[in-house]
Structure 1
């Protein structure tokens, strides 16, 4: 049995009455349905219970802030845990915007982001309390969802503020800001993306079109909730009336157990996570309907392993600026059309434009420009907004192409192109050729300064197990170059080749290109 066909929904329909709080609406409709499961201790909350928790959190936040937060911002400095759901919906109930801060960032970076977002309150947990008090701007109050360890930190712990009364939903318009989320920042200062409730709802509806929704769905969240991949399932499940299972941290063995124990039907992972699950011997249970695979390109080898193991992997292309998914491939598409990320989700539009800003023909590469209701209104910084958003849509900076059936391929970044001896080289295409070399598990390609050529193509290669022994057996730099000479133009063959046990990545799974460059600098003289 499935829910009513999502294709019949207008994008605004689930929240057509702008005064309706999505969680309050869900709790009224299906109060006894399971909302959240804590995979670490087995705790379970129905939608009625989650609504009560949110009411208590909202009242406590309002008491601590001692001001009207409508139109304001509340920063959340927490790891992945069920309390994130409480706080996200409580902040929205107060008419404020949640600012998601990455707990892994250094103090100075967090202080900069909190200041740029001009937050009115900073919420932490016991593990981040010290950092929170250090990064809160000026006299901004700090409160913890746990018992505070300092008198300077107020308490939002449930049970202490329940008598403060229920907070009525603010009824802010759909197009008001709902969350600020910072990009990964692999090539510069992360941008603060301003997403609206309309963006989040449109993303949920578009995802339902592609992946389907069943009443018994249980979506496992083990990605950080300060990234869209971790937060989006919480919002979507609430809209659908299905269940979110929250695991505080990914671990291959523990996550494999959680997937089976809680009969997960869906999970969001980055390719590195899925690779580790497969390496640990995991296979999908009967309940699993899909693995939403994003954050970084999924290699052809990984998709083939999934097909062999019966894992329903759905490679996806998405961005923070589009509230998660832009395009998603079905498992069949992924197998039959290698490296595709599938067709754009309804009603998202992707236009491929050339250097002159005009659309190109099918099969031609260009920058991907995304438009539709999932696209954010912009960044915290007006200049950054003006540079990336225009009447055509959001200019992603990603290079790609589409076939005549509308399937997308992403081949790299506009600013990642390596110009060597006057020739343009797309790193993603070189990396694809390297991954096809026997004994190569993965690769990343960047440009390094070169006095003769302007830039040189450089590759960091991850050997497959047993293919390299201290650099003297199996894979060598010369051997790798020779293996790709018949697959690449001479100018695209890497002049520098380095080896590593794995590729440096951000927490969202994206290759950290600056870290790759640093590693390759040491291999330059040997290249």
Structure 2
């Protein structure tokens, strides 16, 4: 029988099933309450979608979907029962809940910590993990902190989701030889349905067992998965299908910018200009987005997370981009937002950020 460890307190799954715990902190209390419901065979759960491209919505997810997701991940990585897991994601969202479900289904030891930028800071050096899920921001923080670098390098299997990893993070992961995978999934598929090993090569996503993929007439991905309620789930993601179980992700169709008849895909262009942005502004968050334009219909603008706008610096960046980018791929305007708006799951809310950018 597995257990959950919170700081120096341990609760066996049997104790959690019988509600034998005392956790005044609301976050830990709600996490253990979810585990109690799972262990007492509750069959359906209400979850909130991330709201990355629209308003968040509440959906009902059935126990069988979550069980199949956990089983698919275990089969993909051949994870042994009784492994050590770290749950450092928000347990109110699907990613955090699925880490708890995996641990419960795998009879694992689950180390439960508050979701924060560097979740390994308070983990003792002698503890190592077999399986961990993080968002890109957390992996970056762990790699940049001397005291946690070895800890993250010692993780047997690390999966990264919630948002695409930046080119600089992907490079660090390969430099440090982490056994890390970028995930593809959504709340409607109950966490990931495909994983891509992070290497020097382009990310190739391989589906979990029993998952099939294809595209519609516009090149948008459809998914057939035992973890989804729909027989065939249609997405807004543009992909390149390699075979019935592998694909390359290109970007979201709802992020596509139609500028004077030229279609521009931000997720393709952002990595290409990342090193140039860093050269002028240093490491900072940025994204490309379409802004209404009377002549072009939409114009592509670059939004940077910066405290102040410096016109000279912005012009320097545009001049540098002109030397490395196709002229159609250069932003028509550079905007500054002091802080990026985020969705409930921590993703950048591009439309909301654009509204406050100047």
Does TM, scored on the shorter chain, surpass 0.5? yes
1:515 to 336, 347, 352: 352
Aligned residue for 1:456?
299
Distance in 1 of aligned mates of 2:3 and 2:110: 6
Matching of residue 186 in structure 1 with residue 37 in structure 2: no
Task: State how far apart, in whole Å, the 2-side matches of 1:407 and 1:94 are.
Answer: 34
Quote the residue 1:431 is aligned against: 270
Cα displacement (A) at 1:481:
3.0
Q: Contact 1:444–1:503 (CA<8 Å) still a contact in 2?
A: no
Change (3 A) 1:268 1:80: farther
Which SS does the other structure have where 1:84 is aligned?
Answer: helix
2:16 aligned residue: 50
1:329 to 196, 199, 218: 196
Q: Within the alignment, does 1:86 sit opposite 2:33 as a pair?
A: yes
Aligned to 2:165: 298
Listed one character per residue, the Cα deviations across residues 131-161 of structure 1 (whole Å, up to 9, x for unaligned) are: xxxxxxxxxxxxxxxxxxxxxxxxxxxxxxx
Equivalent residue runs for 1:375-414 within 5 Å: 375-377=228-230, 393-403=232-242, 407-414=246-253
| CA deviation profile, 1:106-141 (whole Å, cap 9, x unmatched) | xxxxxxxxxxxxxxxxxxxxxxxxxxxxxxxxxxxx
Cα distance 1:193–1:34, how it changes in 2: closer, same or farther (>3 A)?
A: same
Q: Deviations over 1:417-445 (max 9, x none)?
A: 11111221111112122214252644311
> Structure 1 residues 318, 47: CA separation in 2 closer, same or farther (over 3 Å shift)?
same
- What is the Cα deviation at residue 53 of structure 1? 2.0
Larger radius of gyration, structure 1 or 2? 1
Match of 2:111 among 245, 248, 273: 245
Task: Give CA-to-partner distance per residue, 1:7-52, whole Å, 9 cap, x none.
Answer: xxxxxxxxxxxxxxxxxxxxxxxxxx3321113xx11112222222
Out of 357, 367, 370, the residue aligned to residue 220 of structure 2 is: 367
TM norm structure 2: 0.86
2:121 alignment counterpart: 256
Q: What CA distance in whole angstroms lies between the structure 1 residues aligned with 2:61 and 2:30? A: 21
User: Is the alpha carbon distance of 1:287 and 1:336 closer, same or farther for their aligned partners in structure 2, counting shifts above 3 Å?
Assistant: closer
Tell me the CA shift for residue 83 of structure 1. Answer: 4.4
Seen in structure 2, the aligned counterparts of structure 1 residues 435 and 402 have a Cα distance that, compared at 3 Å, is farther
Contact 1:80 1:249 in 2 (8 A): no
Aligned length: 350
State the 1:455 CA deviation: 0.8
Greater strand fraction, Structure 1 or Structure 2: 2
| Paired residues for 1:27-46 under 5 Å | 33-39=1-7, 42-46=8-12
Q: For residues 134-145 of structure 1, what are the structure 2 equivalents within 5 Å? A: none
Q: Distance in 2 between matches of 1:53 and 1:261?
A: 30
Q: How far apart, CA to CA, are the structure 1 residues paired with 2:101 and 2:78?
A: 16
Give the Å deviation of 1:92: 7.2
The answer (yes or no) to whether the contact 1:222–1:249 under 8 Å persists in 2 is yes
Q: Does 1:208 align with 2:176?
A: no
Distance in 2, matches of 1:509 and 1:415, equals 19
Question: Cα offset for 1:227?
Answer: 0.8
Shift of 1:506: 2.6
How much does 1:86 deviate?
3.2
Q: Secondary structure at the match of 1:206?
A: helix
Q: Is residue 214–residue 244 contact of structure 2 (8 Å, CA) maintained in 1?
A: no
Find the partner of 2:261 among 396, 419, 422.
422
State the alpha-carbon separation in 2 of the partners of residues 501 and 259 from structure 1. 36
1:222 aligns with 2:88: yes
What RMSD, in angstroms, separates the aligned Cα atoms of the two structures? 2.9
TM-score using structure 1 length: 0.60
Match of 2:137 in 1: 272
Give secondary structure in 1 for the equivalent of 2:54. coil
